[in-house]
């Protein structure tokens, strides 16, 4: 690594990271990514890990799982999310998702749907108390029972 200026190497590694960020849903592998940085794959993996503390594959999985979380929060089905983020196997997607997030994608989707339902039923319980206090919504009232419609008139 001493034969090249550090900023030159860093720029090429960042270019490959941006490639992963952009093409995470495509069928990319270490050869595609290392070619983007113009390094041999073994040299590339070593430098990438030194900079980002993850291998390129680990980083790709992280990016895919983060996008999967976003898509599940939007209400997409688990199978739609699996293919949308670049996984070919629902089983491997579910395993990696559970290992990373702590719950299976279907449980995550269910929890997100329940949370949205709770927000719809009691929106005021999701407003921070300090904000409600500042707006004086809690003054001489039962804040939790105030209807959301009455707040929109303020």
Question: Would residue 53 count as lying in a domain?
Answer: yes
Question: Would residue 117 count as lying in a domain?
Answer: no
**Residue 88 shares a structural domain with residue 143:** no
Question: Would residue 114 count as lying in a domain?
Answer: no
**Residue 50 shares a structural domain with residue 98:** yes
Question: Would residue 129 count as lying in a domain?
Answer: yes
pLDDT digits (tens, 9 = 90+) for 112-131: 999 989 888 887 777 787 88
**Residue 82 shares a structural domain with residue 146:** no
**Residue 101 shares a structural domain with residue 127:** no
**Residue 80 shares a structural domain with residue 136:** no
**Residue 90 shares a structural domain with residue 147:** no
pLDDT in the model for residue 98 = 96
Domain hosting residue 32, numbered range: 6-105
More confident residue, 152 or 27: 27
* Cα 74 to Cα 113: distance, rounded to the nearest angstrom: 9
Number of domains comprising the chain: 2
54 pLDDT higher than 90:
yes
């Amino acid at each position: 690594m001493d034969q090249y200026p550090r900023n030159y190497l860093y720029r090429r590694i960042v270019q490959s990271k941006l490639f992963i960020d952009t093409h995470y849903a495509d069928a990319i592998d270490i050869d595609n990514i290392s070619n983007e940085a113009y390094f041999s794959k073994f040299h590339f993996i070593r430098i990438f890990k030194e900079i980002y503390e993850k291998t390129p594959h680990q980083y790709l999985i992280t990016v895919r799982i983060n996008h999967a979380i976003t898509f599940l929060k939007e209400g997409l089905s688990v199978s739609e999310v699996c293919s949308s983020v670049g996984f070919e196997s629902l089983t491997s997607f579910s395993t990696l998702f559970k290992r990373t997030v702590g719950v299976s994608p279907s449980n995550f989707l269910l929890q997100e749907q329940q949370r949205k339902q709770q927000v719809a039923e009691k929106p005021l319980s999701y407003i921070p108390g300090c904000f409600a206090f500042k707006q004086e919504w809690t003054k001489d009232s039962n804040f939790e029972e105030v209807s959301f419609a009455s707040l929109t008139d303020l």
